[in-house]
Structure 1
Amino acid sequence: MKAVVCVSPGNLTLVNRPTVGSPAPGWALVKVSHVGICGTDYHIFEGNHPFLAYPRVMGHEVSGTILSIGEGVSLSVGQEVIVNPYLSCGACVACRQDKPNCCVAIEVLGVHRDGAMCEELLVPAANLYPADGLSLADAAGVEFLAIGAHAVRRSLAGQGARSLVIGAGPIGLGTALFARIAGQDVTLLDVSVERLDFARRELGFSVVYDPRGSAGDRVLERSAGEGFDVVFDATGNARSIEAAFALVAHGGALVMVSIVKDEITFSDPEFHKREMMLISSRNATRLDFKHVSASIVSGLIPIKTLITHSTTLEDSPRDIARWAHEKLGLIKAVIAIDGGASAQPLSRAS
């Protein structure tokens, strides 16, 4: 089968590999249809991922069709599915509390083990969810949106809460969309005029431009100077996260959607004065995947607006290398593995 391998940082190669074989009991063989390209994939390509061994087949935003099933699997051959790429052990303290998204021994497809930038993939059947009502192109967008849906659920903020989402990349936009679905009053903050214009024009959000990280007073004006009931940071920037503490209202919460390798510091008196919550949000669960799928089907998520670029497996080494540096107009790119038509006319690298 064909696969794209990141042999080393900056080196993506299309290769022919042996087929993956028959599924073991409890597993299924999936013909990969579409794969979303994530920020993690760009980090791997650029050599900036701290927990990765090369060579690696990337890709964890996946849709496909079941080719065969192992013993004990209730899904059907030919069924179209969304892949949850977070493979959990099922036995650790987190898994026993129904939190497989933060499993002690978690393995993520495309990171800890080979992923879906290939033609066929073996997956535990428990990680496959029916793509009912979704095209396979749209289904490949469920995983990245589930990150934001999970963060909103983690925030515990209810209808009417004033929310600030810092970072208008794909994860931040997904978080903002699900905060709005939850009935929250959402403002987006970013350093990119282009992304804020997209969020305002295409998605209808209130936005604040923050070119130097100094827009605190203007941001607080959106909350009558009181701060926000919940602040979501989706920047992956330590300085941004530290500055976000001052934007949280008394009694509010800061949700760290992104992760940074750095240490984060904050003023304990200010933290206690507000009696604020600091919440981490990692990956997503079956519940979040279902919420995203239902929201797309019902028209609450404009998935075709978010997926701005498309490529094929054969062209993806060239295009990923280009998109790692040329971000103009790029929100979310998807690989059509079989080279077939996408769900809509999309931008293509030339």
Structure 2
Amino acid sequence: MKTLVCAEPGKFEQAQRPRPESKPGHVRVKIGHIGICGTDYHIYGGHQPFLAYPRVMGHELSGTAEEASSDGRIAKGDLVVVNPYITCGKCHACTIGKPNCCEAIAVLGVHTDGGMCEEIVVPEGNLYPAEGLSPKAAAMVEFLAIGAHGVRRGGVRRGMSALIVGAGPIGLGAAIFAAIEGADVTLRDTSQSRLDLARKALPSARYELVGQETPGAYDVVFDATGNIKAMNAGLAHVAHGGAYVLLSVVKGDLVFADPEFHKRETTLFASRNALKEDFEHVIAKIRSGEVPVDALATHETSFEDAVTSLPLWAEDRGTLIKAIITV
């Protein structure tokens, strides 16, 4: 079958791979659409740690089930969203209902080959029916679920003020779901072009360029910058009694002044990946029309053209929100 392979940093090419073999408890999926993630750009650029090349990337996936699941949830021909987090089911995190932070987690397209290919075989529990969604919208569920999970972790509810620092896809996803919960949302970024793109998707929010921000504190602050300096600085924006949610995962040490942390009685959350209920929440909100998926999908390419499109977008990510490959 046809695949897209990052053979080494800076080398992205089409290649032939064997069709995956069927496994008990798994379902074969014909991939239809693939969202390109920041992680994919990092892999292409050689900046993703603990990754072995060559790697078939791709973890934002939708497709068609080519066989039914044994539990009856999925019929042959159903449009499905793929949850790319393959978990062990046995570790402490899995047994307490938090497989998103499984001790042996393997993310498709990162720790193991992913979905930039014609077919993939995945555990049936990692597939969610996407009835009522377009195939392209279904490929955006995974990245939106990360933001939705963070919003749930932060306990966002109506009447709260929420600051999201970092207006990339993950930050924008968090902003959208904070707004859905009824929060008063502010998005902050160092890039005016990213803010302009975000404004088209979520016009109800306030937008601030770093360095020109309005003084104030917020009930919940989300960091989606991928920058350790910004993560360390974010505590200053949390209101007394508020929460700080870290969507970013970076190398480096978090350093807070303990008196500032304590006098606010700050609640600090790490937010990693997403759970089934987050995927289902996102699917429901897309189906109800509350998520502006058309404004989020700013760029598209074909499977054949992706080998030239992805490297170009990797160098100019400030002009796009989400790029989608059609297989």
In 2: Cα distance, 1:44 partner to 1:249 partner: 37
Whether the 8 Å CA contact 1:33–1:136 is kept in 2: the answer is: yes
Q: Distance in 2 between matches of 1:51 and 1:190?
A: 28
**Contact 1:3–1:119 under 8 Å retained in 2:** yes
Please name the residue that 1:110 is paired with: 109
Is 1:188 equivalent to 2:178 in the alignment?
Answer: no
Contact 1:26 1:73 in 2 (8 A): no
2:134 equivalent in structure 1: 135
Helix, strand or coil: the match of 2:67?
Answer: strand
Contact 1:228 1:247 in 2 (8 A): yes
Cα distance change, pair 177–85 in 1 and its aligned pair in 2 (3 A): same
Correspondence 1:140-179 to 2 at 5 A: 140-179=139-178
The yes-or-no answer on 1:287 pairing with 2:277 is: yes
Query: Following TM superposition, where does structure 1 have runs of at least 4 consecutive aligned residues deviating by more than 4 angstroms?
Result: 69-74
Find the counterpart in structure 1 of residue 5 from structure 2.
5
Cross-structure match for 1:326: 316
Deviation at 1:263, TM superposition (A): 1.1
Find the counterpart in structure 1 of residue 59 from structure 2.
60
Per-residue deviation, 1:331: 0.7
Cα offset, 1:75, TM superposition: 2.4
Q: RMSD across aligned C-alpha pairs, in angstroms?
A: 1.3
Q: How many pairs align?
A: 326
Amino acid at match of 2:182: G
Corresponding residue for residue 307 of structure 1: 297
- From the superposition, tell whether residues 99 and 328 of structure 1 become closer, same or farther in structure 2 (CA, over 3 Å): closer
Structure 1: runs of 5 or more not aligned: 338-350
Counterpart code for 1:26: G
- Scaled by the length of structure 2, the TM-score of the pair is 0.97
Distance in 2 (CA, whole Å) between partners of 1:278 and 1:313 is 41
Question: C-alpha offsets along residues 29-85 of structure 1, whole Å, 9 cap, x if unaligned?
Answer: 100000000000000000000121111000000000111357666522211100000
CA contact (8 A) 2:27 2:124 kept: yes
Identical-pair percentage: 54
User: Hey, what's the Cα distance between the residues in 1 that align with 2:202 and 2:83?
Assistant: 26
Distance 2:123 2:102 in 1: 15
**CA gap 1:209/1:71 in 2 versus in 1, 3 angstroms:** closer
Residue 44 of structure 2 corresponds to residue 45 of structure 1: yes
State the TM-score, normalized to the length of structure 1.
0.91
Q: For residues 113 and 200 of structure 2, what CA distance do their matches in structure 1 show?
A: 38
Q: How far apart in 1 are the matches of 2:196 and 2:134?
A: 28
Contact 1:25–1:71 (CA under 8 A) maintained in structure 2: no
Contact 1:26 1:72 in 2 (8 A): no
Query: In the aligned structure 2, how far is the partner of 1:40 from the partner of 1:104?
Result: 20
Corresponding residue of 1:18: 18
One-letter identity of the residue aligned with 1:13: E
> d(CA) in 2 for partners of 1:74 and 1:328?
39
